[in-house]
Chain A
């Protein structure tokens, strides 16, 4: 259970990075990636995955 960022549509805006409660997101080559081992999809933490809620690009963050 984890989310992933589609690099080709990621703008590299970094909005998701500080929102992740699990510190699972980091920059890699100008865009961002989610560490699937750390990602919980915010289950039990928030109503919705925080990266998804703040991402400005529709469809950029999907199920891994």
Chain B
């Protein structure tokens, strides 16, 4: 499927959105602070052990969704035990699958709690760095809470080291907070797309509430009040919360800044602003009415405007409700019910701990090496301190530029200035190299996906894509192969600044980029 054409005019430009950091009410107890008005978030996605209280670090350090650093090392899985839902969202069509909580067009295998537990144990023994189990639909984990809690109760008995988390729309949440605490669920994601029912009624056609189907403003008002109450109750009990918001251009784009402020005020730990996935073939209301998703720059504009509010999650891959593995990879095909039946499942807690200790050692060594490499970085004088550009990075992990351009199914995006290189997101692309040959028809879609970047840092790149990227104004760079990403990005930026100063090149602003829609199948990633 081709990536959609970029709209000629964005709903919002970066310049139109002002950071609201200074207006933010101080943080209540339990969460993480920020370093003042315009400052960067001090914990959450990019935070480390030095940035947050020990008890919070212990909760997030091996949770791939709550820690950007952890997601390179630890894996998660979702089990689809909760297909029922108590609300309808215009971006979701459960006839196939939920397009935002899971990838569109791919039907999940529903599981009973017993099947789910078996699957978790199978995955845990095959993938010892799998530390987190989530129930994320395909419906709402709390609409029929028995299935969710039955799964958790059985798992606690057999695999007590696995962290449990749930994802919910919040409608039933206030009634179930006590049970959530009882099962030691210390991570809860609430999807909150609005804090104003007038916005909400454009997103939610109905809710099922107290034995009635309610619609319109009234329905959205109830949902909003339940979401806020549930969030406050979780914060009061010390449960970490992540707020997912679907960015719907023209409906809640600028409004999400207010959402960010309100959830931060109520103690939300992380805010994950994700792009609407919308295609007619998904059969969603938004897909059918032609409601488009945001461009990369529209998404980034809203995310940037929320910096200083609740900590932002930038590494979400919008995975499906039965995903298995590291974020960005999906090994669910290896663990279908048929295959689990044939597996010999040995749940060895000691083996898992040993493996995770090794992962932790490697991670700390990597962290230390990166810090050392960065401290050796010399800052260039005379570079405009306000100049910031985006670079795309091909990596297969370990924090390094270590992937061939043709083998990348996603690029990490860093915003680089003279002073720092900041991870701001990722872009999924179609694989350029298939069966050893470059697929030229894939290249335009890759260019579209990273069109807002000045350079793409790779371990290696072939002559053909190199020339085409250059023609599109994106500099292919393989000079920093196998270096740490931040160091490579800063080195490239210094070189870029030198070339500008010498007059070898002129600084050209980049255009917008498109966010890839549609299913991203495991075949394409293989």
Contact = CB atoms under 8 A, between A and B. Distances in A.
A and B: interacting chains:
yes
Interface of A: 9, 11-15, 18-19, 46-48, 50, 53-54, 56-57
B241 to A, nearest CB: 25
Given A18-B144, A56-B94, A57-B95, A12 B83 contact: yes
Given A13-B139, A14-B83, A15-B139, A48 B213 contact: yes
B208 interface: yes
Contacts of B138: 13
A47 B210 CA distance: 11
A30 B448 CA distance: 41
A56 B212 contact: no
B144 A53 contact: no
Contacts of A54: 86, 208, 213
Interface in B162-219: 208, 211-213
Contacts of B211: 19, 46-47, 50, 53
B143 A15 contact: yes
Given A9-B95, A56-B88, 18 more contacts: A11-B94, A11-B95, A12-B110, A13-B85, A13-B94, A14-B144, A15-B84, A15-B86, A15-B139, A15-B144, A15-B208, A46-B212, A47-B211, A53-B211, A54-B86, A56-B85, A56-B95, A57-B95
Nearest to B146: A18
A42 to B, nearest CB: 9
Given A12-B110, A56-B94, A48 B212 contact: yes
Contact of A53 (B84, B85, B139, B208): B208
A15 B212 contact: no
B213 to A, nearest CB: 4
Interface of A is mostly: loop
Interface residues of B, number: 17
Most buried by B among A13, A50, A53: A13
Interface of B: 83-86, 88, 94-95, 110, 138-139, 143-144, 146, 208, 211-213
Nearest to B209: A53
Contact of B84 (A14, A46, A47): A14
Contacts of A57: 95
A58 to B, nearest CB: 10
Closest 6 CB pairs of A and B: A15-B84, A53-B213, A13-B83, A54-B208, A14-B84, A46-B211
Given A53-B208, A56-B94, A57-B95, A15 B85 contact: yes
Nearest to A10: B95
B88 A53 contact: no
A48 B138 CA distance: 26
Contacts of B146: 18
Contacts of A56: 85, 88, 94-95
Contacts of A12: 83, 110
Contacts of B143: 15
A47 B211 CA distance: 8
Contacts of B208: 15, 19, 53-54
A13 B144 CA distance: 10
A40 B88 CA distance: 26
A53 B213 CA distance: 5
A18 to B, nearest CB: 6
Contacts of B213: 48, 53-54
B338 to A, nearest CB: 16
B97 to A, nearest CB: 10
B9 to A, nearest CB: 34
A48 B84 CA distance: 19
A50 B211 CA distance: 7
Nearest to B213: A53
Nearest to B87: A56
Name which of A15, A47, A50 has the most chain B CB atoms within 10 A of its CB: A15
B142 to A, nearest CB: 12
A48 B210 CA distance: 12
12 contacts: A9-B95, A13-B83, A13-B94, A14-B83, A14-B144, A19-B208, A47-B212, A50-B211, A53-B208, A54-B86, A54-B208, A54-B213
